[in-house]
Amino acid sequence: MTGKLPRAVIIAGQTAVGKTSLSLNLAEAVGGEIVNADPSSFYRGMDIGTAKPTPDERRRIPHHLIDLAAPNETVTLGSYKALAYNVMHEIAARESIPIVVGGSGLYISAIYHNYRIPEVPPDPQLRDQLEQRAEQEGYQVLYDELHAVDPASAEGIDPRNVRRSIRALEVYLLTGQPFSRLKGQDPTEFEIVLMGLRRDMVQLDQRINQRVNEMLAGGFIAEVETLLAQGYDFSAPAFSAIGYRELRDYLSGALDFVTLEQSIAQATRRLARKQATWLQRQDLPIHWIDADDEGAALAGAVKAIEQVG
C-alpha cells in the first residue's frame, strides 16, 4: 500500500451536452464505473422523462445510484452524498475508476468538496406552509427569498425545482443559518479529476429540442399516466423535474401538445444556461472538454486522467 488516494472523475456539464456518451466511452477506455449525480434519475418508473441511461447503456457499463427511490420518497443531499462515497470506494476497491456524472451544481459540489451535510430534520408544518406559498405565489417567489438569504445554495438550484428551494429555505428558517454555511468539509478521500463538458450553445439548443421531441414521441406521456394510475400525483418529490409541471398542465387541458413541447424545451434551455453559468463561476481546476468531436473529447478526458497518475 502506498497511501496514495484513489482516482475519481467528475463529468459536469449542461443537460443534453453529451455527458452520457463521454462517460460511457471514458469508462470503457480507462476501466471505470458510472455514478449518477442527477437527482431526477433517482426515481423508479421515470425513465423517459428524465432521460436516464438506457438499459443497453447500463448493460454496457455498470451504473450506480439510479432508481434509488419511489417517486413519492425523498432522497436528501446528505443521504445521496453518503451513498455516493460508499459506492465510489467500492468501485476503487475493485481497481476501477468511479466516474461521477451529473449537471446539478449542488450534488457535484458535495462530491468534489466532500461536504459534511447537516441532517436537519424536516418540519412538516413549515414545509406545508412553504408548499402552499409556492402553489399560490409561484416558485420564483420562494427562489428569490432563498437567494436573498443563501445565494450560494440558490446558485446550485434550478428555480423551478420547488422542493429543493423549499428544503434550503426550511433549513435556514429552522436553524437561522444558511444551508451553505452549515456544510462542513471533510478531508479529501479521492484524487478527483473534474471535467467540464461544453458545446456551442446553438448546437446545444438543437440537441435539447431534439431530446424533448424524442421524449414525447417515445412515451413520456404514457409513462406519467402509468405513474398517476399507480397512485402517485404531481406533488411527489420526483415530479419537480422539468417537464412534469408542463405535462400536468397538458393533461388538465391548460396546454395543447405544441405548447407542451415548446414549454418543456424552453425550460430545459433555461436550465442549461443556468448550469453553464454555475460551472463557469466555480474557482476549481476544471479540465474543459469540447463535446463537438466525440473522439477528441475522449482523448482529452483520458489525457486529463493520465496527468494525475
Verify that 83 and 212 share a domain, yes or no: yes
Q: Are residues 138 and 226 in the same domain?
A: no
* Torsions phi, psi for 55 (to 5 deg): -55, -40
Look at residues 145, 160, 182 and tell me which one is the last residue of a structural domain.
Answer: 182
Q: How far apart are CA 101 and CA 293, in angstroms?
A: 19
| 285 and 203 within one domain | yes
Judgement on whether residues 216 and 156 belong to the same structural domain of the protein? no
Q: 175 with 286, same domain?
A: no
Domain termination residue (choose one: 182, 200, 227): 182
Domain-located, residue 2: no
Same domain, yes or no: 297 and 190: yes
Q: Which residues of 155-167 are buried (b: 16+ CB within 10 A; e: fewer)?
A: bbbbbbbbbbbbb
Both 203 and 158 in a single domain?
no
Helix (H) or strand (E) holding 115: strand 115-116
Regarding whether 259 and 230 lie in a shared domain, the answer is yes
Which of the listed residues 136, 164, 182 is the one where a domain comes to its end? 182
User: pTM of the prediction?
Assistant: 0.85
pLDDT at residue number 309: 65
- Is 20 found in the same domain as 74? yes
CA proximity to 216, closest of 253, 252, 254, 250 = 250
Position 1 in a domain: no
Smallest CA-to-CA distance from 244 within 254, 253, 229, 233 is with 233
- Specify the pLDDT at position 174: 84
Which residues are CB-neighbours of 292 under 8 A, at least 6 positions away?
199, 200, 203
Nearest Cα residue to 260 out of 302, 215, 204? 215
Please tell me what DSSP assigns to residue 2: -
Count the domains in the chain: 2
Q: Is 168 in the same domain as 266?
A: no
Q: Is 13 left (phi over 0), alpha (psi -120 to 50) or beta?
A: left
CB 35 within 8 A of CB 91: yes
Query: For residue 240, which amino acid is it?
Result: S
Q: Are residues 61 and 31 in the same domain?
A: yes
User: Whose CA is closest to 47, among 219, 185, 191?
Assistant: 219
CB 91 within 8 A of CB 97: yes
Boundaries of domain holding 213:
7-117+183-306
Q: Note whether 120 and 167 are within 8 A (CB).
A: no
Per-residue pLDDT of the chain (309 residues; tens, 9 = 90+): 346 899 999 999 999 999 999 999 999 999 999 999 999 999 999 999 999 999 999 999 999 999 999 999 988 888 999 999 999 999 999 999 999 999 788 899 899 999 888 778 778 888 888 888 988 888 899 999 999 999 988 887 888 888 888 888 988 888 888 887 877 788 889 999 999 999 999 999 999 999 999 999 999 999 999 999 999 999 898 998 999 999 999 999 999 999 999 999 999 999 999 899 888 888 889 999 999 999 999 999 999 999 886
Q: 144: domain CATH number?
A: 1.10.20.140
Which residues have CB under 8 Å from 253's CB, separation 6+? Answer: none
Within this chain, do residues 54 and 110 fall inside the same structural domain, yes or no?
A: yes
Q: Is residue 68 part of a domain?
A: yes
